[in-house]
Structure formats: structure tokens, C-alpha cells
Structure 1
Amino acid sequence: MAEQQAHEAVFQRKIKEHWYVEYEEAAFPFIQKGWILPTGRWNDFDPFILMAEDWFKRGAFADHPHRGFQTVTYVVDGRLEHIDNGGGRDILEPGDVQYMNAGWAARHAEEGVEHDVAHTLQLWLNLPKNQRKSKTSYQNVYSEEAPVVPFDGGSVKVFSGEVAGVKGPLESVVPITMSEILLDKGASYQLNLPETHNAFLYVLGGDIEFGKDQVNLKKHGVGLLSYNENGNPEKSSELHIKANSRRAKILVYSGTPIKEEIVPYGPFVMNTMEEIQEDFLDFQNGKFGPPAI
């Protein structure tokens, strides 16, 4: 009886809203784009701002600036070359992740390699007002560097935060969890996340049921999870996951809401439109440094 009461005290997550990504073809070197987290709903997704799924070839995302937020880019397929004007250059392959804190002034390029079509998921992660002009930084997390925890019928790979008893290598200014979960047909998994974290998931493959209401989502499905906004950040919540097909694969992201009004505009995220105008002037006046080539 005591054990049952203890389990009932754990916050049980459910899918409170879900949708499927809609895609649009784009002019070369862009190929196709969809919004996993659509623009204009940052208040619902806080601390996340938006998430785009892109297919593109070289030349699509040449040298460009950013300020005031962070990005987390997951490579689904193809190869992605990162170039920044601080001298950084590397190639990421499927399953790799790149983190960027744009901070006060990032200038970089994200390119398909040679004739590859790069297929990426890019998440924009907010910064609190007092961190918007923090030091610019980049971190690559290669797939094999992220710890993997096996369970009966699957595994969970942890890129960021503490999940399944291990800590991922990605270190963001605003701490988040990011995990990749694989399941065989019929396998179940109980994902634990801090109960106060806002969270969402994206289905990369398979047919899967989520939460106490057993909401069914298939490939390209997005689920926004319930969370205990006024709960205890030290307490864990549970999300039940069950695969109805082979090769089920999902990404799950979670983070503590920042609860600040923001203005995302073009490549910048600030708290006011006046600050956005200052960003454009700083870029035009060369304060972001030389091009990333």
C-alpha cells in the first residue's frame, strides 16, 4: 500500500498537445523545411523558442550572425560542416549534435558537405536577459561520446542533462535534458524528467504510445508534455513510452521555463525591439567580426 502511494505521488506526464510536422519545398540550395516547434509560440514552449527540420545542400546557410540565444543541432542524415569566425571548423555526421551559445555575437556557417543533402533538426533555446551577451561558444557532441543506457527492448542515449542515471556531455548555459530513445516492437520504457521541466518529444521513426492516456504518435509526430509548473525541481516525473512497431526512435527535450518576454526577430533574440535594432546596427558596423569562411 505504501509503495502504491509513493508511486502515485510521482507526477505522471501526458501528451497535452500533439501535431504532425507539415513540410514545404524550398528553392535550391534549400530543399525542404518543416517546423517541429512552430514560430510564435515561444511562451508555450519556454525555454525553447522554435525547432526547424531542414534538408539543404551547400550554400543554404552560408556566413550569418546570431545573438541572444542558444542552438542545439541534431544531424539526422548527410554531413554538416560547421565553420565559425573564431577559427572553428568541423564535420558532423548522422547522430552527432552541435551546441552553440550565440551569446553576444556569433558569426558562423552551417553547410552540407560536397554533394550531400544535410538533414538537420535545429532547436533555438532561450537565454535569460542577463546572459544574452555572454561569451560565444561552440561544442560538438559526437554520437559515440554520449552515454547509452540499455533496457529490455531498447536503449536511451543521453546528450545533455541527467537521464537514466547518467549525465550527457553537452553543457548549455541554460541546463536542459536531451535524450534519444530507441525501442523494439512491444518494448516499454519509463522516462524520468524533473517534474518542473517543460518538455516536448519528436518521433523520428515508428509507432509509439505516450503517457497515461496512451496517445499514439508516428513518424513526424510532435508531443508537448504536461509538467508540474509549481512543483519541486528536485522531484522526478514519469512518462510512459511503449513501441507498437520495430525501429521506434524519439528525441526528448526538457528545460526549466525562463518566464521572460522575448522578441525573436531574424537571426536575433532579445527582450525588446530596440535591442533588436541595436543588434542589426552592431552587425552592420562590424562588431560581430569577420565573415566565417
Structure 2
Amino acid sequence: MATNAVFQRDIKSFWYPEYNKNGYPHVQQGFILHPDRNAEFDPFILMAEDWYKRGVFSDHPHRGFQTVTYVVDGRLEHIDNAGGYSILNAGDVQYMNAGWAARHAEEAFEDDLIHTLQLWLNLPKSLKHTKTSYQNIFVEDAPVVNIDGGFVRVYSGNIAGVIGPMQSLVPITMTEITLREGAEYTHVLPENHNSFLFMLAGEMEFGESKTKITKTGAATISFNEDGSEANSSELKIKASTRSKVLIYSGVPIREEVALGGPFVMNSKEEIREAFRDLQLGEFGPPAVKK
């Protein structure tokens, strides 16, 4: 009986972000995923990499999307206007569903220089009115799978036989893969997931093309747009040096996207409505430390 071949993924395009050296307190910033290319990244909107001191991301609003914030280094202090407070360390992740009206602050704790990656994950129109929520995923709570020559840490999705703790309204996978020099690993994802990667350290080869990508490199990965969630696909990885990579994936939403400051909606009129609601106090009081 004939069997369907497993879809083999490869690198579609890769690039190295440009960084703005802003000085104090927002020391350096760059877009890993640039918002101008959001249609290509669907369901992801953008990913920003930031180094900053206290005072950069104080009280501010959001509507219409989700954030996934990965702490690379330093301590991140989170405050929201519903009374939430937490401090995240390197390797920790915070998930936020902004839904209809989030208002929070993301600050460097005390005198730290914080280094973060923040991913914006779109919400479909049917979920843009949902209730705001936050979830902390501490590094010790993300399951780790040991593999030949390294390990895989799973923050979200069903990967390598374990399920990550992140409970995003729009299901995604988020995996951190660490390999020794020369180690090989095959990353398995649903074939219909759009996917991208970001190199945290070292150099790796990806896919049938054996495309080499080094630290700070980002790439989109081929996928079967008409495929099924039930069918697997494979991305072959080999570490040229001791390396670490983050890989994210999700099913495209395929809806119109309107961007406006801290809001992601389906039309410019909805963006204007969000700003009006903010001025009218619909987002509640400021997010300040009690």
C-alpha cells in the first residue's frame, strides 16, 4: 500500500536584522520579523529584539493580538492594571492575550539591562474581543527532551513527544533547540504550519539545501499551505558549532491586518476606534506598581 511522503522543509529566505543603537534608556533595537512583511509571516505580525533600561516600556495599551516575550538576559518586571505583577529571568517567557483591552508595563527590573525578544501573534477577528490574560512560563517548567548531542526545550505545542505549557488562544509551537558541534536533529512540525527561526548562538545548517545561518540570523521555512494539521513535516538541522535556535510555527489566519501603534485589527476604522476607546478610559487605569 502506498504511503504519502513526509513533507521536507527547507529555508525559504533568511536575513540578518539591522539594529538601531538608540542610546539610553532604549539602548538597542531591531526587528527580527519586520511588520512590513506581516503577510509573509502570518499568523505572526512582528518580532522585536530590544536591549533597554528602566523607563522604556512603562504603562501602555494593546488590543487585537497576543504577545510572546522571551527573556534572553536580565530581569523583566511585568505590571498590569488588573493587579498582576511578576519578575521573569533569562529563559522565561510571558504570554499575553491582549484581547479587547490590555494595559500593562514591561520594565527592566531595578538597574538591569534587559534583553528581550517580543513576538506579536495575531488574533482572528472572532477572538479580538476576548478577555485580557497573562501567563508566565518559567524556564524550569518548560519540558526538556534530551536528544543525541543536545536537548530541546518546549514552551508551546506538541513537540518531540511532550506538550509545552503555553496556553495561547491561537495555538502555536515554540521550541528552543540546543546542539553540540556536529550534532544533528530533525525538527517535526505539522505540515500546514507557517514557521520561522531565529539563531540565538552559533551556526547551524538547515534543510535539504544545508543553508548555514549564524547568530542573529532569522529565516522563514517552507511549508505545505494546503496541507493538514494531522500530517507531519520535517526540518533537518545540523550544528556547525555549538548552537542554539528558537523555532516558532502556527497556522496562517488569512485575514486583513491593520496596524496602528500598539493595536492590531482588521481595518483602519477599528484602529481609530481603539484610540478613541483609550481616550475614553475603556482600557482602565494605568498599570503602575502598587
TM-score (norm: length of structure 1): 0.97
- Could you tell me how far apart the structure 2 residues matched to 1:12 and 1:140 are? 33
SS of equivalent residue, structure 1 residue 171: coil
Q: Identify unmatched segments of 5+ residues in structure 1.
A: none
What RMSD, in angstroms, separates the aligned Cα atoms of the two structures? 1.0
Which residue of the other structure, out of 231, 246, 249, is the alignment partner of 2:244? 249
- Could you tell me how far apart the structure 2 residues matched to 1:62 and 1:26 are? 17
Match of 1:277 in 2: 272
Match of 1:50 in 2: 46
Identity percentage over the alignment? 62
Which residue of the other structure, out of 21, 24, 32, is the alignment partner of 1:36? 32
Match of 2:167 in 1: 171
SS of equivalent residue, structure 2 residue 270: helix
Question: Does 2:247 align with 1:240?
Answer: no
Question: Does 2:84 align with 1:88?
Answer: yes
Question: For residue 107 of structure 1, what is the amino acid of its counterpart?
Answer: R
Shift in Å, 1:27: 3.9
- Could you tell me how far apart the structure 2 residues matched to 1:262 and 1:236 are? 29
CA displacement, residues 61-88 of structure 1 (integer Å, 9 cap, x when unaligned): 0000000000000000010000000000
Shift in Å, 1:39: 1.6
* Residue correspondence of structure 1 range 104-143 to structure 2 within 5 A: 104-143=100-139
Q: Identify unmatched segments of 5+ residues in structure 2.
A: none
CA displacement, residues 15-71 of structure 1 (integer Å, 9 cap, x when unaligned): 010001111111421000011001211110000000000000100000000000000
Which residue of the other structure, out of 252, 259, 264, is the alignment partner of 1:264? 259
Question: For residue 252 of structure 2, what is the amino acid of its counterpart?
Answer: P
SS of equivalent residue, structure 2 residue 167: coil
Question: For residue 75 of structure 1, what is the amino acid of its counterpart?
Answer: V
CA displacement, residues 94-144 of structure 1 (integer Å, 9 cap, x when unaligned): 000000000000000000011100000000000000101101000000000
Query: Where in structure 1 do 4 or more consecutive aligned residues deviate above 3 Å?
Result: none
Shift in Å, 1:207: 1.0
- Could you tell me how far apart the structure 2 residues matched to 1:232 and 1:180 are? 24
* Count of residues in Structure 1 that have an aligned counterpart in Structure 2: 288
SS of equivalent residue, structure 1 residue 232: coil
Question: For residue 282 of structure 1, what is the amino acid of its counterpart?
Answer: D
- Could you tell me how far apart the structure 2 residues matched to 1:87 and 1:103 are? 17
* Residue correspondence of structure 1 range 153-168 to structure 2 within 5 A: 153-168=149-164
